[in-house]
Amino acid sequence: MTMESIPTVRNSAASGVHDFDGFRVEWSAVSDVGLVREANEDAALVARQRYLLADGMGGHDRGEIASEAVLAALGAVVPGDLTSTRAAVLDALDVAADEIDHIDSRNGRRAGTTVTGAMVVTYDGVPHWLVVNIGDSRTYRWSESELEQVTTDHSQVQELVEAGFLTAEQARVDPRRNVITRAVGAGMDAEADFFAFPVVVGDKVLICSDGLTGELPDSEISDILADAPDAAAAASELIAGALALGARDNVTVIVAAVSRLDDV
């Protein structure tokens, strides 16, 4: 693991372009405190082939410290092949969990954080997205005009959906929707889920905190990704949509749009 200082995006926005292996990824990250919370415990981190987001918890600076810790640890992972990158991510999560466990908790609330995002790795000689997830922040894939939720929420309402007691739409507004079952820190299970799929021209990867999905249904998210002219416009419009509906939580998004380098 090579230590690299990469600034996070919190209460701000950033955009850029990454080129690799004949592909171009145009990306944009925006993080907003929302209209109700006093502090923003969300943060995003984007570096070459790394697109990551964390939603901290524990109250004010504790949540902020937790989200910064996990993003710093994962940001130090330099993506390579799928197997070695997955192993490095697991090591980085262990480092972050140990650091978060030592955050002062004088208010009685232990610090913790969700984390999700995607890294570009090589598998069988082909660039793939390697997605990691702990908690209820989400990574989506928009492909051929269809939006697919890649990750599965680690939450109480998701368990109720899987058991047939709630529909996905009911879960989105259920009062228990903020009760998560996995996190980095907070004395919780920190087992990470991994997913992988090829990097494909025309696809868009959306990474977001639950401040977005708690306000906007997937159908509206899909429409915004379909209609926005570029990643920056998509990210901005997603945040604006959440704010228009009250933005009761911090809301953070990363949009990464794939094109062919020869076409730009």
Between CA 189 and CA 242 the distance in angstroms is 29
Between CA 112 and CA 66 the distance in angstroms is 6
In a domain, 5, yes or no: no
In a domain, 69, yes or no: yes
In a domain, 3, yes or no: no
Between CA 171 and CA 155 the distance in angstroms is 10
In a domain, 6, yes or no: no
Which of the listed ranges 36-40, 82-86, 163-167, 185-189 does the model predict with the highest average pLDDT?
A: 82-86
The CATH number linked to 34 is: 3.60.40.10
- Domain range for 226 is 12-263
Percent of the chain exceeding pLDDT 90 equals: 81
Tens-place pLDDT, residues 207-249: 999 999 999 999 999 999 999 999 999 999 999 999 999 999 9
| Predicted pLDDT of residue 44 | 98
In a domain, 4, yes or no: no
Contact between 115 and 71 under an 8 Å Cβ cutoff? The reply is yes
- Confidence tier at 69 by pLDDT (50, 70, 90): very high
In a domain, 2, yes or no: no
In a domain, 38, yes or no: yes
In a domain, 158, yes or no: yes
3-state secondary structure of 218: helix
| Predicted pLDDT of residue 171 | 85
Please count the structural domains in the chain: 1
Between CA 261 and CA 244 the distance in angstroms is 36
3-state secondary structure of 136: coil
